[in-house]
Amino acid sequence: MNKQDLTLLTDLYELTMMQGYYVKGQNEKVIFDVFFRANPCNNGYSICAGLEQVIDYIKNLNFTYEDVDYLRGLGIFSEDFLHYLSGFHFSGDIYAIPEGSVIFPKEPILKVIAPIMEAQLVETAILTILNHQCLIATKASRVVYAANGDGIMEFGLRRAQGPDAGLYGARAAIIGGCVGTSNVLAGQLFDVPVMGTHAHSWIMSFPDEYTAFKAYADLYPDNCTLLVDTYDTLKSGVPNAIRVFREFKESGRKFGKYGIRLDSGDLAYLSKQARKMLDEAGFTDATITASNDLDEYLLHDLKMQGAAINSWGVGTHLITSKDCPSFGGVYKLAAIQNSEGEFIPKIKISENTEKITNPGNKTIYRVYEKDSGKVKADLICFADETFDPSEDMLLFDPIETWKKTKMPGGSYTLREMMVPVFRNGECIYQSPSVKEIADYCRQEKDSLWEETKRLFYPHQIYVDLSPRLYEVKKNLLDQVNKA
């Protein structure tokens, strides 16, 4: 992703609407929310990721001479407006939930407060960046959960949806809990561990499998994982690997990490047989790595069947989130500032009920159970609301309002989730390193109940509205229905 070139990474209608506001002299401050409507893969939560790239995008927003010239050639923009664009920069405020945070549907994860022309322009790229990285971080978190402590290596670059998908997908995968990636560029740019073994072509370029293994062991004794399925896993690959391991040790040398990799066939059966052969030969500390179209479902089943696998390389299914390859983040107008400087809440109705938005200038409080430290609910409220955790709090479902939970005063703690990122166009937030984000993400997941982390039909965390927000929303809906 060329930072300088993303200004035109936007939908045409953002620019035609901008010109519309420009012509009408209509540039009041507005608030747009980014939120999503459902967790991918029916997960119980999602992982926030991509903010650092959103920050880079906003910082580098600027229409070059070539950009303006291209837009002029479309024949739909006035010279006045093009002149405005040539001096464009972002002057607004942005708030966001930090990367690595656990997030839930319907709550704002990023909020833009800016003159409408600016706020409109940035919609598309913000969504592109967040939707992608939140998706892959969440998928990675599921795969890591299924591995139950084994390391997951991100191996998907060749099946990613283009170079950026491989690069930022690897970043998001590390945030979601992967121990490393095969992607060298991701390693360079994000200072994360890079990992790998060798391919079938390595074996095939030697006269025979044994010679190929021996050459590899001589070269990489610190990390010697031999791919054993080029010809026949149990008849040829594993015996040749054992022969090389034995000769290596007999010659008095020592491996760092060593073992085999399975990349085809039935991984449960082959891993158990290979484990037996390795153990019988005395190589009980040899690791067995598996790859080949793995996802969290197969991984979960292989673990259930006692597959003797210690380490997993996950490619296509992780880097594309194959069974759910999009994250439905949207960007919706929530309020418009009037001439008195007050934000007037706005709502979008829809034939599809789940598309109705939450109005106003909002923030999120996470409600933790004090004793367990676990997440009880998220509360969406107006940004100026405050709550006293020594007092009782009533949580109720904003749709099924008869579903109520009373949190007694003193039994819960509160944490505001959104932090300021831009103020008056200046970035006031320092992104942590990817490793720091990944560490924080592990802590975040520790704040969830096991019931919410389950792969299948997890318990859904409540995301409730404050009573004041609920009333404002209800009144706006009634007004529209009356009209």
Q: Which two tokens stand for residue 230?
A: 């080029």
**Are 229 and 197 in contact, with CB atoms under 8 Å apart?**
no
With the CA atoms of 88, 94, 99 and 104 taken in that order, what torsion angle do they form, in degrees rounded to the nearest 10? -120
Site map (CB under 8 A) of a second copy, residues 52-81, x = contact: --------------xx--xx--x-x-----
Q: How far is the CB of 53 from a second copy (least distance, A)?
A: 9
274 binds a second copy (CB under 8 A): no
Residue 150 Cβ vs a second copy, minimum distance, rounded to whole Å: 20
DSSP state of 237: I
Cβ pair 401, 387 in contact under 8 A: no
349 binds a second copy (CB under 8 A): yes
> Judged by CB, which is closer to a second copy: 42, or 405?
42
For residue 380, the 8-state DSSP code is: E
Residue partners of 248: CB distance under 8 A and separation at least 6: 217, 221, 255
* For a second copy, the closer CB: 57 or 245: 57
In the bound complex, what is the minimum distance in angstroms from residue 88's beta carbon to a second copy?
Answer: 14
What lies within 8 Å, CB to CB, of 34 at 6+ separation is 108, 109, 110, 111, 112, 126, 127, 130, 329, 330, 331
- CB of residue 120 vs a second copy: minimum separation in angstroms? 7
DSSP 192: -
Told to check if 23 binds a second copy by CB under 8 A, we report yes
| Shortest reach from residue 107's CB to a second copy, in Å | 19
Q: Cα 96–100–105 angle (5° rounding)?
A: 65
The Cα–Cα gap between 109 and 117 comes to: 21
Sign of the C-alpha dihedral computed for residues 249, 255, 257 and 261 taken in this order: negative
Beta strands in 218-374 (DSSP E): 223-227, 257-262, 287-290, 311-314, 330-337, 343-345, 362-369
Interface with a second copy (CB under 8 A), residue total 109
* Whole-number CA gyration radius for the chain: 26
How big is the chain, counted in residues?
483
| Closer of 74 and 428 to a second copy (Cβ) | 74
Q: Which of 1, 394, 399, 428 binds a second copy (CB under 8 A)?
A: 1
Burial class (CB in 10 A: 0-12, 13-18, 19+), 460: middle
For a second copy, give the closer residue by CB, 187 or 389: 187
Q: Is 11 in the site for a second copy (CB under 8 A)?
A: yes
Q: Is 220 in the site for a second copy (CB under 8 A)?
A: yes
Pick 236 or 411: Cβ nearer a second copy: 236
Instruction: Answer yes or no: are the C-beta atoms of 112 and 122 closer than 8 Å.
Output: yes
**Opening angle at CA 98, ends 175 and 35, nearest 5:** 100
Please list every residue from 158 through 187 that binds a second copy, using CB under 8 A.
158-169, 182-185, 187
- DSSP of 288-330: EEE-SS--HHHHHHHHHTT----EEEE-HHHHTTTTS-----E
Task: Using the minimum distance from each CB to a second copy, give the nearer residue, 106 or 171.
Answer: 171
Q: Which of 29, 30, 461, 462 binds a second copy (CB under 8 A)?
A: 30
- Residues in region 276-335 near a second copy by CB under 8 A: 316, 320-322, 325-329, 331-333
231 binding a second copy? (CB under 8 A): yes
Is residue 216 a contact residue for a second copy (CB under 8 A)? yes
Site for a second copy in 421-450 (CB under 8 A): none
Q: Please, which of residues 240-269 interact with a second copy by CB under 8 A?
A: 264-266
Residue 374 beta carbon to a second copy: minimum distance, rounded to whole angstroms:
32
Among 91, 204, 443, 446, binds a second copy (CB under 8 A): 204
Give bridge partners of residue 295 from the DSSP assignment.
none
| Nearer CB in complex with a second copy: 347/393 | 347
Restricted to residues 362-421, the positions that interact with a second copy (CB under 8 A) are none
Please state the closest distance from residue 82 (CB atom) to a second copy, in A: 14
Token pair belonging to 365: 């409080």
Residue 229 in the binding site for a second copy (CB under 8 A): yes
Interactions with a second copy, residue window 101-140 (CB under 8 A): 116, 120, 123-125, 127-129, 131-133, 135-136
Site for a second copy in 141-160 (CB under 8 A): 155, 157-160
Please report how close the Cβ of residue 57 comes to a second copy at its closest, in angstroms.
9
Among positions 34-53, residues that touch a second copy (CB under 8 A) are none
Residue 405 dihedral angles phi and psi, to the nearest 5° = -130, 130
Per CB under 8 A, does 21 bind a second copy? yes
Question: Is residue 478 part of the contact set for a second copy (CB under 8 A)?
Answer: no
